[in-house]
Structure 1
Amino acid sequence: MTKFDKKYWEERYQNNQTGWDAGSITTPIKHYINGLTNKSIKILVPGAGNGHEFEYLAQQGFNNSYVLDIALAPLLNIKERLPQVDESRIIYTDFFEHNGQYDLVIEQTFFCALNPELRQQYAEKMHSLLKPGGILAGLLFRFPLTEQGPPFGGSAEEYKTTFSSLFTIKKLEEAYNSIKPREGKELFFIFEKK
């Protein structure tokens, strides 16, 4: 299996092989953010690529939000688009080496980009990054898991198995407002740290 390391992702951005990038924030995540009332909560958007979710958070006044990626190219794109944002909020590192404490982590095409062998490690790392009662929310793909990827698929049953020992599953259901290419293939979820 391909090694999805820093070099792999950097090359994907430099060669403009970013088919997962919707070009803007997707409807389910936008809708979820619009429902957040406390603008001071600390938010992380990991594996964010060009950071459309982070950009939307910044525009909405969530000034305690952070974006993280293992590839530098998309982070430079974010800096260019958002010159007013403090550079300390743009984190260039490997997610699994990052330390911090957050109230909310937003998941958008990061989980599906990881080698499926890392899924339990992802759940454990998310748990460690969240404050007590913290929330992991966003979208997970729902299509058969194959060796071809990224993106790698999965099912609601698999996600329950992966996350339920560490999180209370508040919501895990088909996204009713997915963007057209992803209709019927996304599950919107809200998991609360146990």
Structure 2
Amino acid sequence: MTPDEDRSPIDWEIRFRDNDTPWERATVHPAFAAWEASGAFIADERVVVPGCGRSPEVLAFAKAGLTAAGIDLSPTAIDWQTDQFATAKQRARLIAGDVLAWTPPEPVDLVYDQTFLCAIHPRLRSDYETTLVRWLKPGGRMLALFMQKDERGGPPYGCPLDVMRDLFSDMRWRWPEPETISTWPHPQLNGKPELSAVLVKR
């Protein structure tokens, strides 16, 4: 089984090559804008966007003064990101590769997860959590958008909060107060809600 086949039943390269990407937003996620306005990240921090696809947030982080990196299995998606950065005259580390096998050159301050956790098979979630612990410096943050859905299967796979609390346990992560977790309906996915939370690595 190849790495991309092990992630989900979807061939992401074909989907991006064929522009068959109904989950994509035309602009940055409103949670991103809210986090930026609240000071959840600041210039000169280092951020990784796993499973970045054609997410505009990678470029938005760079424009905000962060050192950004985006990684995705799809070379087509990474080529798109490269073109966007060239047009904007911005810089980033853009990698076509396996998120779970990659390690940043040095620990990072932030991970922005909007699309990766809900795209991988649940059996890989523990490996992903371990990957994030490896990437982040102590006190580093995960800006997470947890997909909520009643249907079984995926992608996107549902990320119920009780399951996420077990995955990102209190032994290694500090969770925000419940009242700070916001709900964001996804317009491209029939209004399925995403819950935004900032988790801090201990």
The TM-score range, normalised by the shorter chain, is: 0.7 to 0.9
**What 5-or-longer segments of structure 2 have no aligned partner?**
none
SS in 1 for 2:167: helix
TM-score, structure 2 as length reference: 0.84
The RMSD of aligned alpha carbons is 2.3
Match among 111, 115, 123 for residue 117 of structure 1: 123
Task: Count the aligned residue pairs.
Answer: 190
AA in 2 matched with 1:190: V
Trace 1:101-180 onto structure 2 (pairs within 5 A). 101-144=107-150, 146-147=152-153, 149-164=154-169, 165-171=171-177, 175-180=182-187
TM-score, structure 1 as length reference: 0.87
Match among 81, 84, 87 for residue 84 of structure 2: 81
Task: Report the counterpart of residue 64 of structure 2 in structure 1.
Answer: 60
Structure 1 146/178 Cα, relative in aligned 2: closer, same or farther at 3 Å?
closer
Q: CA offsets, 1:66-87, max 9 Å, x none? A: 111111111111111220233x
Q: Residue 69 of structure 1 contacts residue 94 of structure 1 at CA under 8 Å; is this kept in 2?
A: yes
Trace 1:16-27 onto structure 2 (pairs within 5 A). 16-27=19-30
**What 5-or-longer segments of structure 1 have no aligned partner?**
none
SS in 2 for 1:113: coil
Alpha-carbon deviation of 1:145? 5.8
SS in 1 for 2:54: coil
Q: Residue 111 of structure 1 contacts residue 119 of structure 1 at CA under 8 Å; is this kept in 2?
A: yes
SS in 2 for 1:185: strand
Identity of aligned residues (%): 23
